[in-house]
Amino acid sequence: MIEVIEFLVTWTPFLLGGFLSNIGVTIVAVMIGTCIGAGLGRLRMHQRGALARGSEFLSRLFRNVPTLALLFFAAFVLPREFTVYGSDVVIEIPLWFKAALGLSGSLIGFTSESLLIAHQNLKRQDDSAVMIFVPTWGASVMISFIASSTASLVGVSELISRSNSIIAATGTSHLIPVYLYCAVFFIVACLLWAALIDRMKTSSLLLSLLKRAAA
C-alpha cells in the first residue's frame, strides 16, 4: 500500500499537468459553446422565418450529435493550419483547440434551448423558473468536462492520456490505482463545481444578467 501511495505521489505533478489541460480545454469549450448558444437562442427568441428555423435546427443538431463525433470531426476534418488572407502568415490550429471546438457542440445546443425556456419563463414573470437555466447550464458544463477525457483519442496530452503513458512506462501492476487516482481528480472537481452552481442559483446578479440575456 505504501509503495502504491509513493508511486502516485511521484507521478502526481505529471498527472496534474494533464488535468490542467482538461480544465483548459473545458473552459475554452464553455466560452465558445455558451456564446454561440446564446446567440442562437436570441435569434430564436427575436427572429421569425428562415432565420429562426435555421437557428432552431442548428441548436437541436448540436444538442443531439454525439460529442465524440464532433470531436473527431474537429480534429481530423478541420484543417491543421490556415493562411491569413492577403499575407504569408500561417496560423496553426492546435489539437487542444480543436478538441475544445468538438466539446462545445453540446453546450451550444443546451445553452440555446435553456435560454429559450428562460425567455418563456421571463414572460410569465417567474424568476425562480428563469434560474433553472443555471443548473441546466452547469450540468452541461460538467458533462463537457468529463467528456474532455476523450480528447486523448485525438492526441491531446490530458489526464487520461498521461495515465496511459505512465502505465505503459511502468507496467500494468499499477493500472487500477492510477485510474482510480484519476477518477478522484474528476470527482473532486465535479463536487466543487456542483457546490458553486448551487450558490449561483440564488445569485441576484446572475438573475439580472439572465433577464437581460433572455429579454
Percent residues over pLDDT 70 in the chain: 94
Cell numbers for 42: 436570441
Q: Are 81 and 92 in contact (CB under 8 A)?
A: yes
- Domains of the chain: residue spans and CATH: 2-214 (1.10.3720.10)
Determine which of 43-57, 94-108, 120-134 has the lowest per-residue pLDDT on average: 120-134
pLDDT at 160 over 70: yes
CA 154, CA 181: separation in Å to the nearest integer?
23
Q: Are 61 and 53 in contact (CB under 8 A)?
A: no
Q: What is the mean pLDDT of residues 136-162?
A: 90
**pLDDT given at position 215:** 67
186 or 74: which leads in pLDDT? 186
pLDDT band at 205 (very low <50, low <70, confident <90, very high): low
pLDDT band at 60 (very low <50, low <70, confident <90, very high): confident
3-state secondary structure of 92: strand
pLDDT at 3 over 80: yes
Determine which of 77-81, 82-86, 156-160 has the lowest per-residue pLDDT on average: 82-86
Q: Are 41 and 112 in contact (CB under 8 A)?
A: yes
Cα distances (angstroms) measured from residue 65 to each of 20, 50, 72, 115, 134: 27, 22, 12, 20, 23
pLDDT at 131 over 90: no
Half-sphere exposure of 172 (CA within 13 A, CB side): 0
User: Rg of the Cα trace of the chain?
Assistant: 20
Q: What is the pTM of this model?
A: 0.88
Q: What is the mean pLDDT of residues 97-122?
A: 87
Neighbouring residues of 136: CB distance < 8 A, sequence distance ≥ 6: 110, 114
pLDDT at 64 over 80: yes
204 or 18: which leads in pLDDT? 18
> Hey, what amino acid is at 25?
V
22 or 86: which leads in pLDDT? 22
Determine which of 36-45, 76-85, 170-179 has the lowest per-residue pLDDT on average: 76-85
3-state secondary structure of 85: coil
Q: What is the mean pLDDT of residues 106-129?
A: 81
